[in-house]
Amino acid sequence: MAIVIDPLVEAAISNLFQCVTSVLKDKVGLICNAKLELKKLQEKLERLQKAIKAIEQIPFFSNEHNRDLEVKLKDVFYDAQDIIKRYQTTIALCKKDKHSITSWNKVRKPWITLSCCFKEHVSASYQLGNEIKKINQNLNEIEQCKEMVDLLNATPKVKSEDPIGGEHDNPRETTQLINTAQPPMGRADDKEKVKKLLFDGFTESSALGKDGVFIVSIVGQGGIGKTTLAKKVFNEVEEQFGNRRWWVCVSEKPNRMGLLQKILKEVSKESKGEPLKGNTSFPDLCTQLQNELSKSKFLLVLDDLWELDWWVGEVEGILLGGAKESKILITSRKVEVSEGIGAKMHKLPQMSFDERWSLFLRVAKKQEHDLESHNLKGIGKKIVAKCGGLPLVVQKVGSLMRTKGMMKDDWESIEKSEIWKWKMPASLSSSEISGSILPGLILSYDDLPHYLKSCFVYCCIYPKDYVIERNRLVMQWIAHGLIDQDKGIDVEVIANQWIKELINRFMIEETEDKNLKLHDILHDLALYVGGKEYSHASATEHTRHLSLLDVDDAEADKDNVSEAASKLRTLLCNSYSHSK
């Protein structure tokens, strides 16, 4: 069976190789055992790098059984890198201490300086040698498993990629990004129905009508276009609500305090009301929000609601106690959420085939008559049929086909791909990535060049619906060695080019203020690929990147960061964030 290696493993190998090379080139000498073990490790890494570059890159998701191997490899590589970094830190501190010794000691007792530094250096070098020896022993054990034997004996098949310009044999277009704010084809009727419900539907007993706040919901499965439709409605009612329109993304498991803080932050920003204080108590928060909502009518969009625990009680009273003729528009995948809130529901249907075909052509930048003349129209329609009725999947696959030419073999390779038969693993059983959604997303991920895959996956460190600061993400990519620094081009320029490419491939969204967001379904995908490395709850022995950005209680942060956090390379918290 062919072997697939996660691009994150490739990045880990590359970073470790650079660390080993750096230590071996250091002018400060190494004790024999340390130098010997480092050279052994360097040889192993060189051999592994060559094997990985030589193997045929078949779809990552078709080799589920390799996940354990990849976890073991990454753990060993990260541990080795940490060992070397600790050694380098010890030597650097030793040098610093040497230069900070008083001139009196330098003149009167020079042997003390030399003795202390030599002792520290010898001890650190000896420890480095022993620890790297254990790393080599671990790698020896891993190399004996069948998957590693197959990998190291793989038949070469080199695929040329250029991290700046893309793959040489399949140059990508650099056309302007399609306007994703525009709703998918065929949603104009749905938009008018939602607006009609908002402004003409207040006779139902499910809401308070003209004497209070009226609630409307857009309900449908993930990827069907709920948020896109809600954005269109939001933008078209400015005349009715002016600047009293607020958009709040709701996390998958919100708590009352955190959600009210998010709402009040948006309300205060637009209405220029009293700014939110960091130590505001829950009763004060309720009072402040209630005062703001009662001033005049408003439209509040609560995007992507999953559950109702936060709604019952004070929150319900505050939101429904707003000014007369105010509206709340929610989006949710669950009918029971809409019913529990008492919203007038609009169920968003799947797109018809004609609508999907039109969307596919628009995103893929293909003309129907051109496809017909190249005998590709039938193949294209088979591809669209396999996407199901979800615009998200059609959009991703259309973006993939934009990179293809008019060669029949290229189109048939997509249409006949085994990916369409791939079933959801148990680890995704609670996710919305299922059915026709999964294969289309897999194809889009697999089509990414290796250098973009690692960058895309890293984005899952941020919570769902989180607005990612572009510059911060760039700095984190660079800090983790995900950006190629051997091209003679500024790494920040390269990183921003890669962001643009991810945007053009619809793998990440750009906000109005040029920051970034990951669609929640793509977030599920990235988190699955990242595996045990990434966590939004607590650290384990395999966790390297931990995010507590969606944890509101500072004490909860401390509880979640256990002794296992000593292996973390990224820690993101509400009060601060840090990358190692």
Assign 105 a pLDDT band (cuts: 50, 70, 90): very low
pLDDT band at 160 (very low <50, low <70, confident <90, very high): very low
State the sign of the Cα–Cα–Cα–Cα dihedral 239, 244, 247, 250: negative
**CA 327 distance to own-chain centroid:** 32
Q: Which pLDDT score, from 0 to 100, does residue 432 have?
A: 54
Please state, as a whole number, how many other Cβ atoms lie within 10 Å of the Cβ of residue 362: 16
CB 185 within 8 A of CB 351: yes
- DSSP annotation string for 536-563: SS---TT--EEE-TT---HHHHHHH--G
How far apart (Å, rounded) are the C-alpha atoms in residues 38 and 33?
Answer: 9
Please say if the pLDDT value at position 127 is more than 90. Answer: no
The whole-number pLDDT of residue 579 equals 47
Structure tokens at 123: 């001890």
Mean pLDDT on 309-333: 87
**3 state SS of 84:** helix
pLDDT at 230: 92
The model's pLDDT over 468-501, given as tens digits with 9 standing for 90+, comes to 999 999 999 998 888 877 667 889 999 999 999 9
The residue type found at 122 is: V
> Is the distance from CB of 258 to CB of 552 less than 8 angstroms?
yes
15 or 116: which leads in pLDDT: 15
Indicate left, alpha or beta for 313 from its phi (over 0: left) and psi (-120 to 50: alpha): left
Order of strands, edge to edge, in the sheet holding 570-572? 534-535, 545-547, 570-572, 577-579
What pLDDT band is residue 61 in, cutting at 50, 70 and 90? low
Please state the CATH superfamily assignment of the domain spanning residues 188-347 in this structure: P-loop containing nucleotide triphosphate hydrolases (3.40.50.300)
Query: Residue 177: pLDDT above 50?
Result: no
pLDDT over 70 (residue 54): no
The pLDDT of residue 208 is above 60: no
3-state secondary structure of 355: helix
pLDDT tens profile 227-274: 889 999 999 988 888 889 999 988 777 778 888 888 888 888 765 555
pLDDT score recorded for residue 4:
47
- Residue in 164, 177, 166 with CA at minimum distance from that of residue 365: 177
Q: To the nearest whole percent, how much of the chain has pLDDT over 90?
A: 21
Q: What is the pLDDT of residue 503?
A: 92
Residue 32 pLDDT: 67
What is the end-to-end Cα distance of the chain in Å, rounded? 37
Q: Which residue carries 């995010």 as its tokens?
A: 547
Report domain extents, the chain: 7-159, 188-347, 352-421, 448-579
**What pLDDT, on the 0 to 100 scale, is given for residue 121?**
74
Tokens of 501: 């490419």
Q: Average pLDDT, stretch 279-306?
A: 87
Mean pLDDT of 54-72: 61
- Can you give the pLDDT at residue 112? 45
What confidence tens digit (pLDDT) does each residue in 418-430 have? 778 766 555 554 4
| Complete DSSP assignment for 151-217 | HHTPPP----EETTTEETTSPPP-PPPP-TTSPPTT-HHHHHHHHHHHHH-TTSTTS-GGGS-EEEE
Query: Percentages helix, strand, coil for the chain, rounded to the nearest 5?
Result: 55, 10, 35
pLDDT the model gives residue 564: 61
Task: Give me the mean pLDDT over the 182-209 stretch.
Answer: 69
What topology is assigned to 448-579 in CATH?
A: Arc Repressor Mutant, subunit A (1.10.10)
Q: Give the pLDDT confidence score for residue 267 in this predicted structure.
A: 87
Q: What is the mean pLDDT of the chain?
A: 77
